[in-house]
Amino acid sequence: MKFFIDTANLNEIKEAYDLGVLDGVTTNPSLMAKEGIKGHDNIKAHYKAICNIVDNNVSAEVIATDLEGMIKEGYELAKIDDKIVVKVPMIKDGIKAIKKFNSEGIRTNCTLVFSPGQAILAAKAGASYLSPFIGRLDDISQDGLEFISQVRLIYDNYGFETEILAASVRHTMHLVQCAEIGADVVTCPLNVITALLNHPLTDSGLAKFLADHKKANG
């Protein structure tokens, strides 16, 4: 299972990378805005800075919603670095753009995916990654994890190579259950990744080991 961090914050990306378990980064226009990154050149420079931290897989999202605009932006983003994956929304022209990028060897991440039908279309178009948003489905009382299971079944039925990139992951149980289901990738905030470290028995066990060592060794 690959771990991506879902942020545009360079310090958080560095911290996750330094842990040694990071396989990539996902961003979106909201996350870029949250970091105060605006303007064409600054946005491109920020993506480059992210690429300079990690080894691969940096999702950079297009803003255009028409085919011509998405293609133009996608080419520009892909030119920034070989690590860039062009993130495209699940809309009609997005599917056409994914098909074209795929035929030209440009990797894509189809985002804002909320139904199995959308997942089939993205895979048929040749998306490299599919981003189903678990937390946002849970928010409206639909089962985000059940959706991941459905997509896993469908993709396995037909041998679709599109990787399931579980997104909108809000807590560790989302992540662990995605692993049980067989999501290929999980993207989540830094606090979800670091929360995986925690267990009270680890803390109390370590404290006891150190206390016993001290007692024996002075």
- Site residues (CB under 6 A) for ligand G3P? 6, 26, 28, 133, 135-136, 167-168, 170, 187
Whether residue 86 contacts residue 108, with contact meaning beta carbons closer than 8 Å, is answered with: yes
Tell me which residue has its CB nearest to ligand G3P.
167
User: Least CB distance from residue 48 to ligand G3P, whole Å?
Assistant: 21
State the minimum distance, in angstroms, from the CB of residue 208 to ligand G3P: 38
Shortest Å distance, C-beta 210 to ligand G3P: 38
Q: CB of 190: closest distance to ligand G3P in angstroms?
A: 13
Choice among 79, 87, 92, 96 that is catalytic: 87
Q: Is 44 a catalytic residue?
A: no
Strands 129-132 and 163-166, sheet pairing: parallel
**With respect to ligand G3P, which residue has the nearer C-beta, 65 or 204?**
65
144: number of Cβ within 10 Å: 24
Task: Give whole-number Cα distances, 179 to 19, 145, 192, 202, 205, in Å.
Answer: 19, 11, 14, 22, 27
Nearer to ligand G3P, 14 or 170 (CB): 170
Q: How far is the CB of 75 from ligand G3P (least distance, A)?
A: 23
Give the nearer residue to ligand G3P in terms of CB position, either 116 or 135.
Answer: 135
Judged by beta carbon, residue 140 or residue 216, the one nearer ligand G3P is 140
d(CA 22, CA 214): 36
CA 128 vs CA 68, 111, 124, 152, 216: distances in Å:
20, 11, 11, 15, 56
Cα 113 off chain centre by: 13
Query: Which lies closer to ligand G3P via its Cβ, residue 71 or residue 165?
Result: 165
Dump strand ranges (E) for the chain. 2-6, 24-26, 58-61, 84-89, 108-113, 129-132, 163-166, 185-188
DSSP string covering 127-157: -SEEEEBHHHHHHTTS-HHHHHHHHHHHHHH
Residues recognised as catalytic: 87
